[in-house]
Amino acid sequence: MEAHVKDTAPLEERIGYTFQNRKYLDIALTHSSYANEMKKNLSSNERQEFLGDAVLSIIVSDYLFHTFHLAEGDLTKLRAAMVCEKSLCEFARQFSLGDYLKLGRGEEMMGGRTRPSILADAFEALLAAIYLDGGIEPARRFVLGFVVDTLEHRDEFAFTDYKTMLQEIIQKNPEERLSYVLVEESGPDHNKSFVVEVHLNSNVIGSGRGGSKKSAEQAAAREALRLMGECP
């Protein structure tokens, strides 16, 4: 069983944090199946997972609150996307967390080292370990290293369809016509920037910029809604 326990120095290097009290790291990597099989009164990572869940929520909530001027419902949806099992599993895979987990024989044979739920739980337990060992700031740096990168690579308007919102308002007057016009395209192929205007009949009622035509259209629709007093 012990042969499966790896040197954790490379893990600490990957996450950019060196533990003062390695007990917290050891617990974070100990799955309940391993603790139960060893029968040495070992602590599994379940309690730290509980704490890590709360630490993760406050860090992500604080970041979103101060970064995005969105309604409460949109902030809630975005936070849910950042802290769901799928996202946490992907974060864990980025630094091969599964390779360092201590699993029981049965869990190992059943592919537990790559199971999304186990990886997501271990990520939260590891976050709690950093928090317990070094406080909120290193925990914040650890989490935001994943969250900020993820947000930068997702459509910032994916969680609110401003085009549909605008269309629903305008279609109350059947004679009115909405159209989106691309007025600028710049930048290299790997980092394009688009500017789109939204027209109501022949009048420009909003414009927006984005990394894709779709996101630029959503930005233009949001600007139009804001000017109409329909969007914060």
Task: Answer whether residue 31 shows pLDDT above 60.
Answer: yes
The reply to whether 37 and 141 lie within a common domain is: yes
Which helix (H) or strand (E) segment is 186 a member of? strand 178-186
Residue 25 lies in a domain: yes
Which pLDDT band, with edges at 50, 70 and 90, does 10 fall under?
A: very high
The reply to whether 93 and 191 lie within a common domain is: no
Residue 60 lies in a domain: yes
The reply to whether 76 and 172 lie within a common domain is: no
Catalytic residue, chosen from 37, 53, 74, 156, is: 53
Q: Provide the pLDDT for residue 188.
A: 67
- Residue 2 is a catalytic residue: no
The reply to whether 118 and 175 lie within a common domain is: no
Q: What percent of the chain has pLDDT over 90?
A: 53
Residue 214 lies in a domain: yes
The reply to whether 167 and 83 lie within a common domain is: no
Residue 193 lies in a domain: yes
Q: Write out pLDDT tens, residues 136-195.
A: 999 999 998 888 777 766 654 455 678 888 998 998 888 889 999 999 998 766 556 789
Instruction: Give the mean pLDDT of the chain.
Output: 87
Among 22-31, 50-59, 112-121, 164-173, which stretch is predicted with the lowest mean pLDDT? 164-173
Query: Is 121 annotated as belonging to a binding site?
Result: yes
DSSP 135-165: -HHHHHHHHHHHHHHHHHTS-TTTT--HHHH
Average pLDDT over residues 54-76: 86
Among 156, 177, 200, identify where a domain stops.
156
Query: Is 49 annotated as belonging to a binding site?
Result: yes
Residue 1 lies in a domain: no
H-type alpha helices, the chain = 9-15, 22-28, 32-38, 46-67, 72-83, 85-94, 105-109, 116-134, 136-152, 162-170, 213-227
Q: Provide the pLDDT for residue 190.
A: 55
What CATH number is associated with residue 146? 1.10.1520.10
The amino acid occupying position 198 is: V
Among 156, 182, 208, identify where a domain stops.
156
Distance, CA of 4 to chain centre? 30
The reply to whether 167 and 94 lie within a common domain is: no
Residue 24 lies in a domain: yes
Give ∠ CA 5-8-9 in degrees, rounded to 5: 150
Q: Write out pLDDT tens, residues 89-104.
A: 999 999 999 999 999 9
The reply to whether 140 and 215 lie within a common domain is: no
Among 132, 156, 180, identify where a domain stops.
156
The reply to whether 90 and 139 lie within a common domain is: yes
Backbone angles phi, psi at 143, to 5 degrees: -65, -50
Residue 3 lies in a domain: no
The reply to whether 170 and 150 lie within a common domain is: no
- Region class of 40: left (phi > 0), else alpha (psi between -120 and 50), else beta: alpha
* List of residues 6+ apart from 205 with CB closer than 8 A: 198, 199, 224, 227, 228
pTM: 0.67
Average pLDDT over residues 192-202: 89
- Residue 124 is a catalytic residue: yes
Structural domain containing residue 143 = 8-156
Residue 95 lies in a domain: yes
The reply to whether 219 and 112 lie within a common domain is: no
Query: Residue 218 in 3-state DSSP?
Result: helix
Q: Write out pLDDT tens, residues 108-142.
A: 899 989 999 999 999 999 999 999 999 999 999 99
Which pLDDT band, with edges at 50, 70 and 90, does 48 fall under?
A: very high
Query: Is 124 annotated as belonging to a binding site?
Result: yes
The reply to whether 134 and 215 lie within a common domain is: no
Q: Please give the tally of structural domains in the chain.
A: 2
Q: Provide the pLDDT for residue 184.
A: 92
- Is residue 70 within 8 A of residue 160, CB to CB? The reply is yes
Distance CA 119, CA 183 (A): 45
